């Protein structure tokens, strides 16, 4: 029951059991055609020596600002240079006991980034790096669950939003875009049908008029270049190949 007592207690921040609020970031990028995840190696207990998501305590800032700050710190980029990085709230994880020290409620964020340099230039002592998502072992805390939620959200987002463009540079070819879908979905897509489909969705991409300087490494014509269009939703959606028909 939300009693008066509880509300009065709220005026004294020390009167109820301390709860910490953190943010954790599931940052995804694509390197060499494979989906990668940003991880750090913890230097302190608990889970010292185990890999974990980048994150930390929320300060006097919005939750999204905290996530952007943590991401900037670990990637070595300045926050203002994270402009092309897509960031969205993923979910909040707060089971009692998920952190052995105390009650910690963590707001998880999901980030889509174009290929970024290796971390560590930040000078921080934490060993951070990009790891292929299918080679990530067990993680600290409940970060494995958080990553699983992030991957599922990412796969779903590619279906009905143009966010695949957040993984590539400002100008890209249809084949690069297809490579993003293949990496995130883990499935090969039919080149011809994908091409026609992308161009048929209004506002998904718009032509720059230019083409690549060279053809593919193993032959093939030059490809036309596109940039992201102004659509925020894909109509009609670009659905995943039907793995099994409906989750039952």
Q: Given the rule CB under 7 A, which residues bind DNA? A: 173-175, 190-193, 195-197, 199-200, 211, 214-224, 236-239, 241-242
Contacted by 219, from a second copy, DNA, none: CB < 5 to 8 Å by type: DNA
The three-state DSSP-derived secondary structure of 144-197 is HHHHHHHHHHHHHHHHHCCHHHHHCCCCECHHHHHHHHHHHHCCCCCHHHHHHH
Contacted by 215, from a second copy, DNA, none: CB < 5 to 8 Å by type: DNA
Contacted by 222, from DNA, a second copy, none: CB < 5 to 8 Å by type: DNA
Work out how close the CB of 213 gets to DNA at its nearest, in angstroms, rounded to a whole number: 8
Cα-based torsion angle of the residue sequence 90, 96, 98, 100 in order, rounded to the nearest 10 degrees: 150
Contacted by 80, from DNA, a second copy, none: CB < 5 to 8 Å by type: none
On the 0-12 / 13-18 / 19+ scale of CB atoms within 10 A, 103 is middle
CB 41 within 8 A of CB 126: yes
Residues linked to residue 24 through DSSP beta bridges, in sequence order? 55, 108
Work out how close the CB of 114 gets to DNA at its nearest, in angstroms, rounded to a whole number: 18
Residue 228 phi, psi dihedral angles, 5° rounding: -65, 140
Determine, following the binding rule CB under 8 A, whether residue 20 of this chain makes contact with a second copy: yes
**Choice between 3 and 242, CB closer to DNA:** 242
User: Which candidate, 188, 159, 191, 157, places its Cα nearest to that of 174?
Assistant: 191
Determine, following the binding rule CB under 8 A, whether residue 57 of this chain makes contact with a second copy: yes
- Residues forming contacts to a second copy in the complex (CB under 8 A) are 1-4, 6-8, 10-11, 13-14, 16-21, 44-46, 48, 55-58, 60-63, 70, 73, 89, 91-92, 94-96, 100-102, 104-105, 107, 124, 126, 202-203, 230-235, 242, 245-248
């Amino acid at each position: 029951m939300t009693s008066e007592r509880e509300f009065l207690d709220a005026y004294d921040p020390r009167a109820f059991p301390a709860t910490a609020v953190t943010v954790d970031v599931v940052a995804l990028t694509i390197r060499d055609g494979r989906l990668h995840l940003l991880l750090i190696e913890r230097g302190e207990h608990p889970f010292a020596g185990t890999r974990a998501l980048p994150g930390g305590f929320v300060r006097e800032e919005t939750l999204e600002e905290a996530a952007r700050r943590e991401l900037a710190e670990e990637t070595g980029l300045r926050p203002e240079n994270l402009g092309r990085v897509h960031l969205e709230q993923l979910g909040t994880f707060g089971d009692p006991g998920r952190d052995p020290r105390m009650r910690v409620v963590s707001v998880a964020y999901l980030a889509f980034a174009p290929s970024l340099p290796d971390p560590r230039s930040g000078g921080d002592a934490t060993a951070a790096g990009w790891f292929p998502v299918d080679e990530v072992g067990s993680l600290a805390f409940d970060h494995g669950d958080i990553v699983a939620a992030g991957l599922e959200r990412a796969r779903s987002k590619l279906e009905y939003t143009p966010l695949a463009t957040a993984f590539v540079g400002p100008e890209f070819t249809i084949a690069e875009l297809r490579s993003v879908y293949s990496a995130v979905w883990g499935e090969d897509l039919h080149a011809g049908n994908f091409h026609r489909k992308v161009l048929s969705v209004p506002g998904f991409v718009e032509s720059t008029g230019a083409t690549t300087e060279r053809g593919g490494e193993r032959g093939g014509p030059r490809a036309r270049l596109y940039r992201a269009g102004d659509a925020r939703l894909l109509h009609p959606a670009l659905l995943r190949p039907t793995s099994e028909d409906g989750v039952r």
